[in-house]
Amino acid sequence: MSLQAMTMVLDFAPQRWNPSKRLVALAVADRINNEQFTWCSYADIQARTGLSRRRVIDLMNELVAEGIIARETRRRENGSQQSNLWMWLWTLRLGGAVPSTPRVQPVAPPA
């Protein structure tokens, strides 16, 4: 759990965010480790929020588009999908919380 990430959602989330988006962001923040990564699944976030799988996916895509989190799609050697690697990009700076530049660039799966 990242207390800093959860605090940023609770205290600095944009006013335009609806309660569902705040809840998804909190659920992701709760799974973030000290290195600002998590491998949480959509099913995990769905179970923690009570939202539909489709709604969780849509909201997480919105968080990616806003620069709050980044997603790295991971594949097994046989080409099947593994859990996504999620990176928390939102950092606290003087004057408020802002998206930061990712420390890790997602790696494209082998062609």
This prediction's pTM? 0.76
Distance of alpha carbon 91 from alpha carbon 23, whole angstroms? 18
Q: Tell me, what's the pLDDT at 99?
A: 52
Mean pLDDT in residue range 72-98: 77
Cα distance between the two ends of the chain = 34
pLDDT at 54: 97
Cβ atoms within 10 A of the Cβ of 30, count?
A: 17
HEC letters along 36-56:
CEECCCHHHHHHHHCCCHHHH
Residue 103: per-residue pLDDT: 47
Task: Give the C-alpha separation, 68 to 73, whole Å.
Answer: 17
Residue 25's pLDDT is: 94
Side-chain half-sphere exposure of 19, counting CA atoms within 13 A = 3
Q: Report percent pLDDT > 70 for the chain.
A: 81
Please, which pLDDT band fits residue 18 given cuts at 50, 70 and 90?
A: very high
Q: What is the pLDDT of residue 106?
A: 47
CA angle (13 as vertex; 8, 17 as ends), nearest 5: 150
| Average pLDDT over every residue of 38-65 | 95
Is 60 exceeded by the pLDDT of residue 13? Answer: yes
